[in-house]
Structure 1
Amino acid sequence: MSDLVLTLNAGSSSLKFAIFASNTPSAQAEMTGKFASIGRQPVFSVSSADGRSLDKGALATLDNTFDHEKLLALLLPWLAQHHGRHRIVAVGHRVVHGGERFEGPTRVTEAVLDELESLVPLAPLHQPHNLAAIRAVAEWRPDLLQIACFDTSFHRTQERLAQLFAIPHALSDEGVIRYGFHGLSYAYIASVLPQHLGALADRRVIVAHLGNGSSLCAMKERKSRATSMGFTALDGLVMGRRCGTLDPGVILYLMRAKKMDASAIEDMLYRKSGLLGVSGISNNMHVLQESKAPRAREAIELYCYRAASLIAGLVPSIGGLDALVFTAGIGENSALVRQLICGRLDWLGVSIDGKANSENAVQIGSEQSRVKVLVLPTNEEAIIAKACRDYSE
């Protein structure tokens, strides 16, 4: 009987999972799958390690009544049945917010779950679904080891100044600080940097995690020194539906002049802004790049302008820039976005090779570039699986 590790990543409208062998350190999953478009018409896809599509069984036909909980109630028995005599011994979860207390992977208990519940207001799009997945697994197999892996943990190595807002210190002491997110992605990129940069991996590196949710992380010695996201996952870069950095006065204006309450403002900033809000067309970068509409191009240009500006703004935290790494859906696949961002950073010594960039090569920096420029796939699931293995040993 072979032991397996299951990883779950529950997003606002998606649910990703992967199966790993528990007795090998390989980052290669034996099976990966995803439910997309949850809340509308869920679509299930699943494939083996070699990319072959697998039989979906009862999960082939789904309708809009299937939320995260119902899908998990179907998925977990399906996984157990599919793997037959192979036993799932641990489940690892991506949990977006771990607050100040959780600085690394943590075994889930009722007390831990209660603490994580208190953080829901800080990550309203993600945390409820993360915790619902944990509860669904507990209902399925109450004694199964569950490990929470936090997007905030990677950033706990930042100095205090990088975490503070200029607000009354009593609020900072209560935990109103910059936490940062996408930490599992950054942890994976940090782990593979030596393979691509050698000794340069421990020097001054900025990683751009660009996707529907986007952020930046400045690293030194492969540890987080500063990041673009703050107290919530709303801050920093322009994102698919989120606004990114916003003058707080805009919130006051919306309350006073537009008579919007907190719920309406939250809905606008989290779900109706970003690429979708600026373009009026879509939050999908590929759709915007294919569009001829002027506002689609304006949304792309704003996304890249803000990214370049914030990359430059992170340079002082690490004292310079030796390498720039693009990752995640947009970062790995949009040559246009990389071109527009790097074009605004030539004064920093950033220069890319047009052909390598168009081919999504790993090394896209030109021969003249003083800064190494890389495109690397991220693998949050591998980091979660490793945490589960460490606890299972």
Structure 2
Amino acid sequence: MYIFVINSGSSSIKYQLFRWPVEQPVCSGLLERIGLADATITHKVFTAEQEQVSQRSLPIPDHAAGLREVVRLLTDPEQGVLRDPQEVHVVGHRVVHGGEAFAATTLITPAVKAEIKRLFSLAPLHNPANYLGIEVAESLFPQARQVAVFDTAFHQTLPPKAFRYALPTSLYSEFGIRAYGFHGTSHQYVAAQAATYLGNPTAKIITIHLGNGCSMAAVLGGKSVDTSMGFGPLSGLVMGTRSGDLDPSVIFHLIQERGYEPVQVQTLLNKNSGMLGLTGFSDMRDITKALLAGDPAAELAYDLYAYRIQKYIGAYAAVLNGLDAVVFTAGVGENDARIRALVCRNLEFLGLHLGETRNEECTKELREINQAEARVKILVVPTNEELAIARQCAELLTA
């Protein structure tokens, strides 16, 4: 069966098409800058282990127009991989926030859509785009079963001592204010890959997802027991544009003493802070260039970024009562050897001994970067959220 996976962001759509049970996608793509006249779509078709890439710039006013363009590419007479959109059996959607209602992959029904919509206030930057992706896909693939895979679902195994805040109980019972965690699909995928590699299904693993958004998870026996993101995706690590952990007093000070409006503070912490606030750049590749040019702001940003990760490694090693592996994943985690070296520095007491030569190697496969004799494995595991979503869709519908 064909499974079409959609990862719909506020101004982008990532997608992959699988001819299940083959886990190598038939095609994949990325549509960026939706809503602008110079939107771009990069479409890749995989045949006989070869990759055919096409890229276009065109006006894409909204997600509906974007997905229509994707369908056109899927069925293109020359480069297409489908004769008709009706061949798609399942559409899998990444949905960021499932609250406490969804602890597993779920077939989308009107009631499920209503709950996703109800959760808009908990993920205002993500759930509306995810919901829109569902509505558009329902119109373009009316015969297909629509399935939701929730970023928060993997973290529903957190114990109350990890997910509750020390606030009045009514705020939790009436309004659902608690830590939910995010990037769950990625953490679950790479933790499972690592456990299989270790040959230990009960392994104690710390997963470190470092992209533009960043988070960590403590995983015990394949289950999340703690994670760095909380009520929303703002807390925890320093990120591309998000502040990460912050004393709430700063927010009160900005509003009461500096005249900020709440929406200004929200924009400041979500879009103008993190590495962007520290250096003027949100992309680590630009920050690396600045660092190599001797920019002290870039040096501080790198140190601060790595230091925050180290603190969570220490905390999660305590939570897990030991450690079998640390896993780096996502764009920065997989590709930035400097960050990995800074993170692992001075953690020998935990059993982390980085292999410098191994760390500098750059491949697209799961690999060890620890010294050969090290007790704790340091792994780089490429994440693949789209494949993880496809797997979960197939498991749900063939159970």
SS in 2 for 1:219: strand
Contact 1:203 1:322 survives alignment (8 Å): yes
Q: Distance in 1 between matches of 2:282 and 2:121?
A: 23
Letter in 1 for 2:332: I
Deviations 1:79-117 (A, max 9, x none): 244233361111001101000010111111222112111
Contact 2:205 2:325 survives alignment (8 Å): yes
Residue in 2 that maps onto 1:287: 286
Q: Distance in 2 between matches of 1:257 and 1:321?
A: 45
Contact 2:34 2:66 survives alignment (8 Å): no
Change (3 A) 1:39 1:304: farther
Letter in 1 for 2:383: T
Residue in 2 that maps onto 1:364: 369
Which residue of 6, 31, 37 corresponds with 1:35?
A: 31
Aligned pairs, number = 383
1:68 and 2:73 matched = no
Q: Distance in 2 between matches of 1:129 and 1:68?
A: 8
Residue in 2 that maps onto 1:350: 352
SS in 2 for 1:44: strand
1:140-159 maps to which residues of 2 (within 5 A)? Answer: 140-159=140-159
Q: Distance in 1 between matches of 2:269 and 2:71?
A: 34
Instruction: State the Cα distance separating 1:368 from its structure 2 match.
Output: 4.6
Contact 2:195 2:203 survives alignment (8 Å): no
1:261 and 2:256 matched = no
Q: Distance in 1 between matches of 2:2 and 2:226?
A: 35
Q: Distance in 1 between matches of 2:199 and 2:268?
A: 44
Q: Distance in 1 between matches of 2:140 and 2:64?
A: 11
Residue in 2 that maps onto 1:138: 138
Instruction: State the Cα distance separating 1:34 from its structure 2 match.
Output: 0.7
Deviations 1:299-343 (A, max 9, x none): 121111111111211222211112101010000000000000000
Deviations 1:230-288 (A, max 9, x none): 111111101111111111111111111122222111111111111101112x1101110
Contact 1:45 1:53 survives alignment (8 Å): no
Q: Distance in 1 between matches of 2:50 and 2:243?
A: 35
TM-score (norm 2): 0.91
Name the stretch that deviates more: 224-233 or 126-135: 126-135
Name the stretch that deviates more: 335-344 or 109-118: 109-118
Contact 1:308 1:344 survives alignment (8 Å): no
Residue in 2 that maps onto 1:114: 114
Letter in 2 for 1:227: T
Deviations 1:96-151 (A, max 9, x none): 10000101111112221121112122222221211111111122233421101000
1:51-66 maps to which residues of 2 (within 5 A)? Answer: 51-55=50-54, 60-63=56-59, 66=61
Letter in 2 for 1:124: P
Which residue of 329, 333, 336 corresponds with 1:334?
A: 336
SS in 1 for 2:278: helix
Q: Distance in 2 between matches of 1:84 and 1:69?
A: 20
Contact 1:8 1:94 survives alignment (8 Å): yes
Which ranges in structure 2 are unaligned for 5 or more consecutive residues? Answer: none
SS in 2 for 1:97: coil
Contact 1:147 1:387 survives alignment (8 Å): no
Q: Distance in 1 between matches of 2:348 and 2:357?
A: 18
- Supply the RMSD in Å over aligned alpha carbons: 1.8
Change (3 A) 1:313 1:194: closer
1:48 and 2:45 matched = yes
1:219 and 2:219 matched = yes
Q: Quick one: percent identity of the two aligned structures?
A: 38
Residue in 2 that maps onto 1:322: 324
Letter in 1 for 2:30: K
Q: Distance in 1 between matches of 2:340 and 2:34?
A: 30
Deviations 1:48-81 (A, max 9, x none): 233522456xxx2313x53333212322343244
TM-score (norm 1): 0.93
Which ranges in structure 1 are unaligned for 5 or more consecutive residues? Answer: none
Deviations 1:145-177 (A, max 9, x none): 110100000011111111111111111223111
1:157-168 maps to which residues of 2 (within 5 A)? Answer: 157-168=157-168
